[in-house]
Structure 1
Amino acid sequence: MALHPALTPVADLVGTWRGPGRGEYPTITSFTYTEEVTFTDVGKPFLTYLQRTWSPAGDPMHTETGFFRVAGGEAVEFVLAQPTGQTELAEGSLVTEPRGFATELHSRVVNAASAKIVDATIRRLRLDGDELTTEFAMAAVGLPMTHHLGSVLTRTA
């Protein structure tokens, strides 16, 4: 199956990535985790996305799933669902770099009635060869946009 032409700028993202991460937020104790993300080509103009994290003891922590789309070669759309009761529609520009790309995605968030309130998020992804760096900030529970998570992942498959 050939990669859809719309995905050419992010073709090197396809695969599984894994590595260490660190989380913090003013309302919680800082923590470390292992993160794994998988971007899968399904022959359509989007990649499927699955993210999972584990504590240092190996206990599951968080997961989310969604779709990563490239629109017009320069815009990225990331549609995400989380079991914590949020959905995100994150959009941003794609900046091509010599060994990959970078993007900063600003989201609109919808919260379920039982979920903690997340007003907005910013996700930054940078692909540099076989290293994927992620950063995640959020405005939540009455606080302004604040850094929450960061990870450095390497390709495992």
Structure 2
Amino acid sequence: MNENSTPNNPVVPGAGADGPSLSDSASISGSDAVNLAAEQSKSTAHRNIPGLGDLPIPDDTANLREGPNLHDGLLALLPLVGVWRGEGQADTAEDGQYAFGQQITFAHDGENYLSFESRMWKLDEEGNPTGVDQRESGFWRINLKDEIEFVCTHAGGVVEIYYGQPLNERAWQLESASTMVTATGPSTLGPGKRLYGLLPTNELGWVDERLVGDALKPRMSAQLTRVIG
């Protein structure tokens, strides 16, 4: 993980001392953010996740221009909706330090929650994929007091409940209130904290920190570019 990262100023992977951190999430003006998003959407606005199209209920959509309207209760999470793809760094008790690729999907079906899916794959030193890594799915909800609930299940045998709140219009911090590990899951995984935020480049950065001994230490982080939405 980046040696310049601290609990109060997490640095996105590979950024270096002068690179962007998640504390930069609010450092771009509203007009600049809109202009940048409009420019970037030229290559992503026409894309969406596939749907069967024959369900009696709305298909999920990761594109706010298509499908049902976003529920009014989710406006504080609106910037997350889309499909994001990029690379990150991990330092886990199970596999040590390694690089990974990742795709995160935040989608909705018009109801008052976002669905969440994360798929990862390991990368070798040249950046080539070498196989499947971790996978997560879950749901984000937020109430009228801006209190976020995130229920997350890991394919490796973990179920977690996170609570948190927006730090600003472009960043969201969550802390695990319950971490349940199955008999075959990662027994060393402790409680933790996650921070998701849009960088000044409108990329999505996130950091997962876990309690090791008496201190939180970065376990995973990534910097992702919007590819849909």
TM-score scaled by length of structure 2? 0.62
CA contact (8 A) 1:25 1:146 kept: no
Which residue in 2 is equivalent to 1:19? 86
CA contact (8 A) 1:106 1:121 kept: yes
What pairs up with 1:6-155 in 2 under 5 angstroms? 6-25=73-92, 28-56=95-123, 57-58=128-129, 59-97=131-169, 101-107=170-176, 108-117=178-187, 118-128=189-199, 130-139=202-211, 144-155=215-226
Shift of 1:80: 0.4
Q: Against the structure 1 CA distance between its residues 25 and 119, is the aligned structure 2 distance closer, same or farther, given a 3 Å change threshold?
A: closer
CA contact (8 A) 1:90 1:105 kept: yes
Q: Which amino acid aligns with 2:202?
A: D
Tell me how many residue pairs correspond in the alignment. Answer: 153
Describe the superposition over 1:59-117 as per-residue Cα deviations: whole angstroms up to 9, x where unpaired.
111110000111225221111001111101011111223xxx21221112011122222
CA-based RMSD of the aligned residues comes to: 1.9
Unaligned runs of 5+ in 1: none
Q: Which amino acid aligns with 1:29?
A: G
Q: Structure 1 CA distance, aligned partners of 2:152 and 2:97?
A: 24
| Higher CA-based Rg | 2
Query: What percent of counterpart residues are identical?
Result: 25
TM-score scaled by length of structure 1? 0.88
Shift of 1:42: 1.2
CA contact (8 A) 2:173 2:193 kept: yes
Shift of 1:27: 6.2
